Structure 1
């Protein structure tokens, strides 16, 4: 049986201490990185923390403080307790705390989005300056989007389905959003498009979808941006059940019906015209004169009894 080599206690302790220090360093870096990001909305007041705080035994007169954006644009600068520089875009919107050197911006604009840097120099008696700290902080600005608006346009309809173009739109927000949706709580994708004048301008977003609606369904549109979300739902209704149209009679049917009606009318006309003559003909016979015919017709009938008596006489 082989023996495992033993590790000296001092070496093992040093190893565990090194691992513990490494973990503490990672945690501290993570905490520092978390502190370096500040979030704010358009129109709010936000404070960007500096990497140095002036001790109570000293004052701002012993320091030079530079707040700059993107390392090229000086937002605010102090030297020996006096303001020496201020950017015109931040005029009447910025101020600095003279103790913890926090930069306050109010009201926040979309153009304020980006990295900032606080540079602090300590003035010695020999007038030489020493950089005390120089660390960045990022301001992440958001602007609320409008509530999504859903519209549906019927393109084609039949007894089985209704074809629609559905659009969802929202505007005026920042940063660039995501747009998602659901049909009866089942996820679906929009054909999305975005419009913005620049990378630091409000966004307008529009989603489009073609649907064949065979029954009433609910559609939801959601706009997401920097952890925020706004949603709207709309009930899409299928068109009413189709009504079968009445089929017009064919040409042959119309022709036959017309012929039957014409024959019927001619029969009535002929009957009305010739029927009186036939009725008169069986009671009256034509005579040489009109008067004799009338008298003959007006004679009362002679009974058979009288005729027999006359014959015997």
Structure 2
């Protein structure tokens, strides 16, 4: 079985892919043929009798090979470099070794951007559409999140020109917010992660109107008010007549008394004068 080794690198870095043979100090590269190829069919670099006889145009000015341990160096690494590489060494037309190396390339995603859009609002709750997006990374990521440290599942979608192109990822979440809540969005790719958090506040803190009193309370209150008004009306009509008639009776009695006293007074005067 062919020996396989996994090498990881990020876009823009310099990476080394080790071969399976080292030229002895007593020999030179002139006795060997060395082939570095990608995905079996594409030759990256080839040496024969100590001289480079081929280099793929996509690797121009980005590759070099160590002339003793036959390590292939690639710099700067690109997303398209992701894949399987094979180092084949021949001596006198006999295969000395054949080794496969898997190069896994990653490109950092942007920091996730969280946006919240209110779709409906009321005193009790606020309905929001939460969108989390990140772009420019590789390989295809996974998007995850949490609400107040409780895991949630995003409805995710990805956009990429090809399987060896940067990815843009967008996740959506429908929330019914009844109180302030902290939402976290994480984009994970090949052991790396980028995260962002956002505090969502319930927007409408309106005052709930007071509950009206029961029907029987309203009815009793109306009866009391009507009774009070009738009492005032009757009192206003009755009291003036009663007071007036009482005053008239008092005036009549006073007049009678005065008329009775007058003759007595005149009689006394007459008696005095006769004496």
- Partners in 1 of 2:174 and 2:104 — Cα distance? 36
Counterparts of 1:1-313 in structure 2 under 5 Å?
33=4, 36-123=5-92, 129-243=93-207
- Partners in 2 of 1:213 and 1:38 — Cα distance? 46
In the TM superposition, what is the alpha-carbon distance from 1:243 to its structure 2 partner?
4.4
Runs of 4+ in 1 over 3 A off after TM superposition: none
SS at match of 1:37: strand
- Partners in 2 of 1:95 and 1:232 — Cα distance? 40
TM-score by length of 1: 0.65
TM-score by length of 2: 0.74
- Partners in 2 of 1:97 and 1:163 — Cα distance? 62
Give the length in aligned residue pairs: 208
In the TM superposition, what is the alpha-carbon distance from 1:240 to its structure 2 partner?
3.4
- Verify the 8 A CA contact 2:126 2:204 in the aligned structure 1: no
- Partners in 2 of 1:63 and 1:197 — Cα distance? 41
- Partners in 2 of 1:70 and 1:210 — Cα distance? 44
- Verify the 8 A CA contact 2:122 2:204 in the aligned structure 1: no
- Partners in 1 of 2:142 and 2:208 — Cα distance? 45
- Partners in 2 of 1:187 and 1:87 — Cα distance? 47
**Larger strand percent:** 2
In the TM superposition, what is the alpha-carbon distance from 1:244 to its structure 2 partner?
6.2
SS at match of 1:53: coil
Structure 1: state its 5+ residue gaps. 1-28, 124-128, 246-313
- Partners in 2 of 1:234 and 1:149 — Cα distance? 9
- By relative contact order (CA 8 Å, sep 6+), the higher-ranking structure is 2
